[in-house]
Amino acid sequence: MGNAGRNGGEYYTPRPLIRAMVKVVAPRIDETIYDGACGSAGFLCEAFDYLRRADLSATEWDQLQRRTFFGQEKKSLAYVLGVMNMILHGIDTPNIRHTNTLAENVMDIQPKDRHDIVLANPPFGGGERPEVQQNFPIKSGETAYLFLQHFIRKLKAGGRGAVVIKNTFLSNTDKASVALRKELLETCRLHTVLDCPSGTFQGAGVKTVVLFFDKGAPTRKVWYYQLDPGRSLGKTNPLNDDDLAEFIALQPRKKDSAKSWSIAIKDIDQSTWDLSVKNPNAPEAEPLRDPAEIIADMLARDAETAELLEEVRGLL
């Protein structure tokens, strides 16, 4: 399952990261949760586990079962896995549609189609066809950019989103990237950016960030957290819940720390809307040594080594 869709830029999201995203958006029983690129439905299943309690009333349980979780998935294998995963988690009637989300014109989305919460890790890359791009006001061949436009419009006013995207989205200077950052900042309150380390997604050669935003008010300030588990992540050493504990603890009050800081939108370049991750609390890197100095040190050590070898030869 982990290899399915790799060529399309799809990577199954680590469960600890999903759980952290769910905790930050903090869904409630009376809200609807949507993932338009649901894959194996990991976000929907973790949100169900978050909301499920032993003291739920019959009405609340029916709400949770039938009118809370909604998803869409293009690929047949992932769609089947998603439905199966939700059933195994205890959702008897999964509301997942087998369809291409990007084939829907975002300008046709009606109030009845909108949701309270979006949780997603859309595929990146892909190179969408021009006819698909016509469904979006900001044209781009980057699949994730089209999904982000879709997610913004699928949220109700006051709705909350948490979306994984490549970290280059924050700084790319192409027309689509700049326009999409501007739209996100002007139509939503982007309150948190979680910077994920390399190796978070096994097999992916790119770094990612998680965007947390509320729809309906412009962004004034963004809080960043640079996740650093203190080790190299990989298949035998994956991300775990403890790695995200500090982020979850600091996020509600958005406190500054060695790994977290805030920026005011009025202070960024309004021509590019650059949101690059630049930790002002990180220790300054030591200045690079002069090449001539490095060569001199190497020659001196070579001379010392030669003297020691001569001494050893004399003892033979």
Helix, strand, coil proportions of the chain in percent (round to 5)? 40, 20, 40
Which residues contact residue 56 at a Cβ distance below 8 angstroms, ignoring those fewer than 6 apart? 29, 64
Across 5-14, 21-30, 239-248, 253-262, least confident range: 5-14
Q: Spell out the domain ranges in the chain.
A: 6-267, 287-316
Query: How many Cβ atoms are within 10 Å of 243's Cβ, its own excluded?
Result: 21
**What's the average model confidence in pLDDT over 95-119?**
96
Predicted local distance difference test score (pLDDT) of residue 7: 40
Predicted local distance difference test score (pLDDT) of residue 290: 77
Q: Is the pLDDT of residue 3 over 50?
A: no
Predicted local distance difference test score (pLDDT) of residue 59: 95
**What's the average model confidence in pLDDT over 280-284?**
74
**What is the distance between the alpha carbons of residues 28 and 25, in angstroms, rounded to a whole number?**
9
Beta bridge partners of residue 225, listed in sequence order = 194, 260
Q: Is the pLDDT of residue 306 over 60?
A: yes
Q: What residue type is assigned to position 272 of the chain?
A: T
DSSP string, 109-149: --GGG-EEEEEE-----B---HHHHTTSSS--SBHHHHHHH
Burial of 144 (0-12, 13-18, 19+ CB in 10 A): buried
Query: How many Cβ atoms are within 10 Å of 53's Cβ, its own excluded?
Result: 10
Q: Is the pLDDT of residue 69 over 80?
A: yes
**What is the distance between the alpha carbons of residues 141 and 156, in angstroms, rounded to a whole number?**
26
Predicted local distance difference test score (pLDDT) of residue 188: 98
Q: Mutual orientation of helices 15-25 and 42-51 as an angle, nearest 10°?
A: 50
Q: Is the pLDDT of residue 5 over 50?
A: no
- 6-267 has which fold? Rossmann fold (3.40.50)
Q: Kindly report, residue by residue over 256-280, the tens digit of the pLDDT.
A: 999 999 999 999 999 999 999 999 8
Q: Is the pLDDT of residue 287 over 70?
A: no
**More confident call, 6 vs 108:** 108
Q: Report residue 135's pLDDT band, with 50, 70 and 90 as the boundaries.
A: very high
